[in-house]
Amino acid sequence: MRGPITAAVAVADEVRADILELGYRTSRGPVSVKAGIASSESGITAEDLLIRADQVLSGTPARNRVTLYDPVVHRPKPATISVFVYGTLMPGEPRWPVLEPFVESWRPAIARGFLWDTGRGYPAAQFSLERSGVWTTIGSRGDEIPGVAVSVLVERSVAAIRRLDEVENEGALYRRVRIDASQGPAHSYEWIGATVGFTRLPNGWHASR
């Protein structure tokens, strides 16, 4: 029969083994084994570990204990950047095939500004206005520009941005900017030329066709 000290050591070893197994099975190191704490990346909290320890201490059978590691729930999300597109780069549009090879996922989104029909088969968005060399964000003064927020894997982002810069003639027709879209911060391309003679599209590119 085990004495209380022997039993306590055995329980401590079992809890430590659970934490070590968790650390090994989650290859990106979501749990600090040394400190015995969980990280937010894994979705496993310190409370989860305490519950597991309490179940071990109380003699709860292993099959009935809380499951700390789930390969689906706790799989780390891939790092991505977001690109907001609003015209011919959207899914189903003529230039979507240029962007599609870099896309991890996409979803509808909205950004504030002004959208114009250039009359050349593609739109022009303004997210800010320039006066005397100073750019001021349009924000709530603008329309809601409907578009798509595209997620691009970080490891492909440099190639994706380089290709988009070429397509958008960055620095000549458009400039690449960071905006606050409905899904969060995103890269996008803003028209830098005059809009005289353009038709304003308050309902977006698709609605105008």
pLDDT band at 24 (very low <50, low <70, confident <90, very high): very low
Better-predicted residue by pLDDT, 172 or 56: 172
Better-predicted residue by pLDDT, 98 or 30: 98
- What residue has token string 């400039």? 175
Lowest-pLDDT choice from 26-30, 113-117, 144-148? 26-30
Better-predicted residue by pLDDT, 37 or 82: 82
Tell which CATH classification among 3.50.50.60, 3.90.79.10, 3.10.490.10, 3.40.190.10 matches the domain 80-208.
Answer: 3.10.490.10
* Start-end of CATH 3.10.490.10 domains in the chain: 80-208
- What residue has token string 């890269």? 187
CA distance 88 to 84: 12
Prediction pTM value: 0.64
Condensed to tens digits (0 to 9), the pLDDT of residues 117-174 reads 999 999 999 999 877 778 788 888 899 999 999 999 988 999 999 999 999 999 999 9
Q: SS in 3 state form for the chain?
A: CCCHHHHHHHHHHHHHHHHHHHHHHCCCCCEECCCCEECCCCCCCHHHHHHHHHHHHCCCCHHHCCCCCCCCCCCCCCCEEEEEECCCCCCCCCCHHHHHHHEEEEEEEEEEEEEEECCCCCEEEECEEEECCEEEECHHHCEEEEEEEEEEEHHHHHHHHHHHHHHCCECCCEEEEEEEECCEEEEEEEECCCCCCCEECCCCCHHHC
Q: What is the pLDDT of residue 136?
A: 84
| Alpha carbon separation from 193 to 72, 116, 124, 181, 201 (Å, rounded) | 48, 12, 9, 22, 17
CA distance 82 to 151: 5
Using a 10 angstrom Cβ sphere, with 0-12 exposed, 13-18 middle and 19 or more buried, the burial of residue 186 is buried
| Alpha carbon separation from 49 to 20, 54, 205 (Å, rounded) | 12, 9, 51
